[in-house]
A and B are shown apart, each in its own frame.
Chain A
Amino acid sequence: MAMPRTSAWRQAGFFLCVLALVACSRPASAPSGERGGGPAYGDTLVEASIGDISGLIPNITSDSASHEVGSLIYSNLIRTDKDLRPEGELAERWEISPDEMTLTFYLRKGAKWHDGEEVTAADVDFTYRYMIDPKTPTAYAEPFRQIEHAEVVDRYTYRVRYREPYAPALLSWGLWILPQHILEAPWKAGIDLRTTQQNRFPIGSGPYRFKEWKTGEKIVLEANPDYFEGRPYLNRVVYRIIPDQSTIFLELKAQNIDMSTLTPTQYRRQTDYPAFLKAFNRYKYLANAYSYLGFNLRDPRFQDKRVRQAIAYAINKQEIIDGVLLGLGRPAVGPYKPGTWWYDPNVKTYPFDPEKAKQLLAEAGWKDRNADGILTKDGQPFSFTIRTNQGNQVRQDTAEIIQRRLRAVGIDVKIHVVEWAAFLNTFIRKRDFEAIVLGWGLGLDPDQFEVWNSKMTGPDELNHIGYQNPAVDTLLEEGRRTFDIEKRKKIYARFQEILAEDQPVVFLYVPDALPVVASRVKGIEPAPAGIAYNFIKWYVPKSLQRYTR
């Protein structure tokens, strides 16, 4: 699935490096050997979060900070390994029926909740029933609504049957499993689970136990010695809530924070000195997101494919990457991240070529008829407004560079920067925009039905540009009904081919994720999944441990 990037307020956290995929990954200064000794228990890892978490039942929150903390407290049925392949966590193994409509999970025995109860199929079943309850305020219920029938076969076996084959089904069980023995009773009694103790002092089954949450100040987790995959090395994880980016950065420089993400400017210009590079390892790999210039395809001017292609030719993507990301990113050619198995590099590209752009615009009937440098057609000058959200300087700068490049081919662009809530409600939801600069975060599956299918154009749906292409609709349907990877690969290759030809949006760039971790922390192995996938294996050698209590 695709999730758009939320406002700068939220996205600035560590989320990117939790989910981030990798194309080229290499610690900028490679940790050398095992200085200071081998793996040892102990020490504390301090992280910063720009916002307080909103609750500790992550299934009903939507902010990245809550998800990150929740992911250490709870465990999932399924997760993805370092190469983004599904692997079992609470599920020991699973079976997909020959008709591809039934999934059977076999739970591992002996996994315990933090209060000592065993994790069983009843917990999975409770989580499922809670997710599909219309009263549950969750944004993640949709995959579970595709289920026709769910049953607890025995204490360790759980079976779900889908209405039709649904390829994203397996990964959708990468869901935080909730404790049935604690939550069933209040839920049955009609109590809003957000007001229960679980949301404040949670009992999970993950590698870390909840210790304390001081509102607005910090969250403290402690290693769970009984975690079914073994006790994590790092004794404690502390999230300090620091609502200001500059302060986080200063705390990082003063080494009071062990892990954070850098902005391109910080990476290029403010951390490139020996003391910092000695204290920290910086990592760099492609983030799990892309930015785009979207057109409102209900606007007759943008319905002409040649106009969209012309704009793609008129924009210099590398210039944007160099200018706003200081070179830390890659040009995007489609809605997927390079390096994933479904990514197809062999699609039509639009190298920077203003002449070609002018030629295409002329073919579409846009000509400069009064020598003022602005193209006109039917007496109307070609002029439109790009809207983007406030608080994201990168997007505003991108819009300005586009403005200048389009002016050079005779298109007059205005820029309107709007506060996030107003941007969504007044402009996106009501489809009141001509063009937008926005970004999407990417999921772990190529399914992007919600973003590109012509049926998903309702006010609350994600195809806000109004893209309609029957061929794409069919491919998207087929893609989510097909389990076979080779077949899916072909389907999504064709899909990318059509998008590249159609240019319903101009795909701009995939930015780099730039996490940074204190160099005393060892065991970090960047992989396609980023760095956080083996968090419980991170350690600080005894002699380098900093926090003894």
Chain B
Amino acid sequence: MSVYFIRRLLISIPLLFGILLLSFVMLKLAPGEPSVVQQDLQTRATGAQRETLRQLYGLDKPIYVQFGRWLWRVVRLDFGRSYSPDGRLALDKIKERIPITLGLNLLELVVTLGIAIPLGILSATRQYSVFDKAMTLFVFIGFATPDFWLALLCMIAFGVQLGWLPISGLRSLNYEYLPFWTQVWDFCSHLILPVAVASFGGLAYLSRLMRGSLLEVVRQDFIRTARAKGLPEHDVIYRHGVRNAVIPVVTLLGMMLPGLLGGSVFIETVFAIPGMGQLFVQSAFSRDEPVLMALVIIGAGLSLLGNILADVSYGIVDPRIRVSGSGRS
């Protein structure tokens, strides 16, 4: 298994290189320049000043030289300074946003799984019942609803009209002055709408997967055997059925790894949550290349890692899947 793992890891290196090269070239091919050079139209900046800035950032060099220099820095884990006027280290800008996005997405994932799995099980055990059909309709409405629209509706209903929940942000303005438990409630209440909206859209996929997988499993021989030996239906479903049916869902989690750090652009923008998605959009708008490329590396790295983990976990949870080189060991 470890040989397989290492081999997969090695294969990812050229793959990662390819992704970075393509991203870099695409970034350079896009019209426009980093806004630090461009200064918008606010030009009292003369052409000469622009040239100075281009030289300062090495933007006057041919693209392969720029890529080579950038790669060499990245290999030494130096992601450079942001081009935006704050001039902060790209990594610092990313680091301060990781906990927010990671926390939010983990919460969203837990909520989605917490609802989708029971929903899938109930739908499967009551296949074609009214409940099953209603749930199918419900989750597909969630799937089809644009999240930014739903977000605005919820904000109007719960934030403006009813005034039950805060509309945006992570904390109230007087947060520092609140007693501890009020702080906890304040923070949680700010998360309710974004997590609810984000989870609603993800329900369909996971609950349908769970339903389908369980229906598949209960048709198999060992379930018939379990029933034949007189196990109560509850035990048949939950002890034997669900455990096996949940395997594809679990392996899917590996695929979700990059998403955990990617952040949802819509959710973070609409709810004013300063996470990775926002940073990505802002960097893209201002052509903040150091930050943008650092984000690309993280995204690409996690996607590759997620794929490997998914493959490996298949092997672990399902002994029928053998990977070459590990089966005989």
Which A residues are closer than 8 A to B by beta carbons? 1, 3-4, 6-7, 9-10, 44, 46, 51-52, 54-55, 60-62, 66, 134-135, 137-143, 192, 194-195, 199-200, 214-218, 238, 240-244, 246-247, 250-251, 253-254, 256, 419-422, 424-426, 428, 450, 458-462, 547, 549
Given A6-B41, A6-B42, A46-B173, A250 and B159 contact (CB-CB distance below 8 Å) = yes
A544 to B135, CA, bound (A): 50
B residues near A424, Cβ cutoff 8 Å: 32, 38, 40-41
Structural contact, B85 and A244, CB atoms closer than 8 A: no
Q: Fill in one digit per residue for B221-252: 1 if any A CB lies within 8 Å of its CB, else 0.
A: 00000000000000000000000000000000
Q: How far is the CA of A55 from the CA of B87 in the complex (A)?
A: 9
User: What distance in Å separates the Cβ of A354 from its nearest Cβ neighbour in chain B?
Assistant: 33
B87, B275, B287: the one contacting A192 at CB < 8 Å is B87
Q: B241-294: which residues lie under 8 A (CB-CB) from chain A?
A: 269-272, 274-275, 278-279, 281-282, 285, 287
The reply to whether A66 and B41 form a contact with Cβ atoms under 8 Å apart is no
* A139, B40: Cα distance in complex, Å: 10
Q: Closest residue of chain A to B33, judged by CB? A: A425
**B66-96, CB < 8 A from A:** 81, 84-88, 93, 96
CB neighbours (8 Å) of B6 from chain A are none
Looking at A66, A218, A243, the one whose CB has the most chain B CB atoms below 10 A away is A243
Closest chain A residue to B163 by CB distance? A254
Contact across chains for A215 and B31 when beta carbons are under 8 A apart = no
Which residues of the partner chain B approach A3 to less than 8 Å between Cβ atoms? Answer: 41-42
13 residue pairs from A and B, CB less than 8 Å apart: A135-B52, A194-B87, A218-B173, A241-B274, A243-B269, A243-B281, A244-B270, A247-B167, A254-B159, A420-B32, A421-B31, A425-B33, A450-B44
In the complex, are the beta carbons of B97 and A250 less than 8 A apart? no
B47 at the A interface (CB under 8 A): yes
Q: Which of B38, B39, B156, B170 contacts A217 (CB 8 A)?
A: B170
Q: Which of B44, B163, B272, B278 contacts A142 (CB 8 A)?
A: B44
Check B40–A254 contact: CB distance below 8 A: no
Q: Is B45 part of the contact surface with A, judged by Cβ < 8 Å?
A: yes
Chain A residue, CB-CB nearest to B51: A460
From B85, B272, B274, B281, A215 is in contact (CB under 8 Å) with B274
Q: Are A421 and B38 in contact (CB under 8 A)?
A: yes
| Cross-chain pair count, CB within 8 angstroms | 161
**Contacts known (A242-B272, A254-B159); A55 close to B85, Cβ less than 8 A:** yes
Selected contact of B272 from candidates A139, A140, A241, CB within 8 Å: A241
Give Cα A251–Cα B47 distance, bound, in whole angstroms.
42
Nearest Cβ on chain A to B160's Cβ, whole angstroms: 5
Chain A neighbourhood of B329, CB < 8 A: none
Number of interface residues of B (CB under 8 A): 57
Q: Is the CB of B38 within 8 A of A238?
A: no
Closest Cβ–Cβ distance, residue A49 to chain B (whole Å): 10
Which residues of chain A come closer than 8 Å to B296, judged between CB atoms? Answer: none
Cross-chain contact A4 with B41 (CB below 8 angstroms): yes
- In the bound complex, what is the Cα–Cα distance between A194 and B38 (angstroms)? 18
How far is B286's CA from A55's CA once the two chains are assembled, in angstroms? 15
With A244-B269, A254-B163, A421-B35 as known contacts, state yes or no: A44 contacts B40, CB within 8 Å. Answer: no
A134 to B: closest C-beta gap in Å: 6
A421 adjacent to B32 (CB under 8 Å): yes
- With contact pairs A134-B52, A243-B278 given, residues A458 and B47 touching in the complex (Cβ less than 8 Å): yes
> From B81, which residue of chain A is reached at the shortest CB distance?
A195
Taken residue by residue from 36 to 60, chain B's Cβ proximity to chain A (1 for < 8 Å, 0 otherwise) reads as 1011111111111110110000000
Q: Indicate if B177 sits at the interface (CB-CB under 8 A).
A: yes
The answer for the CA separation of A450 and B35 in the assembled complex, in Å, is 21
**Nearest A-chain residue to B53, judged by Cβ:** A137
CB closest residue in chain A, given B176: A549
A428 to B177, alpha carbons, bound, how many Å? 51
B198, CB-defined interface residue at 8 Å: no
User: Who on chain B is nearest to A196 by CB?
Assistant: B87
Question: Nearest residue in A to B287 (C-beta to C-beta)?
Answer: A421
Q: For the complex, give the distance between the alpha carbons of A462 and B84 in Å.
A: 23
B-chain residues with CB within 8 Å of residue A54 when the two chains form the complex? 84-86
Contact B43 A44 (CB under 8 A): no
Give the residue name and chain of the B residue nearest to A440 (CB): B41
Of B31, B44, B46, B177, most buried by chain A (CB within 10 Å of CB) is: B44
